[in-house]
Amino acid sequence: MRSRFSAFALDLSDYVLHSWLPETRPDELESDPALRWVRLEVLESTGGGLFDAEGFVEFRAHYRDGGTPGVMTERSRFVRHDGRWVYQGPV
């Protein structure tokens, strides 16, 4: 989760797409130069351990859109795919 947030903040769309489950990821991400991700709060996480097949992360991501502050809250599902954790989508 933290690496994906950092990738969004640094506009590293290749990493974001690579860390997304192929069945649910978009073909491409469109960058928005007015949007700046500034802080991540992980509120809760469950699963995601060594022997788990899925895990969940609830987070609050703070951003500025054209200078106006905003917050996005989501509970996300992550699954193992080809031996690595990937984002499946919101729950």
pLDDT recorded at residue 85: 97
Instruction: Tell me the whole-structure pTM to 2 decimals.
Output: 0.93
Q: Compute the C-alpha angle 18/22/24, nearest 5°.
A: 115
Q: What is the pLDDT of residues 38-51, one digit of tens each?
A: 999 999 999 999 99
pLDDT band, residue 71 (cuts 50/70/90):
very high
CB atoms within 10 A of CB 31: 8
Report all structural domains of the chain as residue ranges with CATH numbers, in order of start. 2-90 (3.10.450.50)
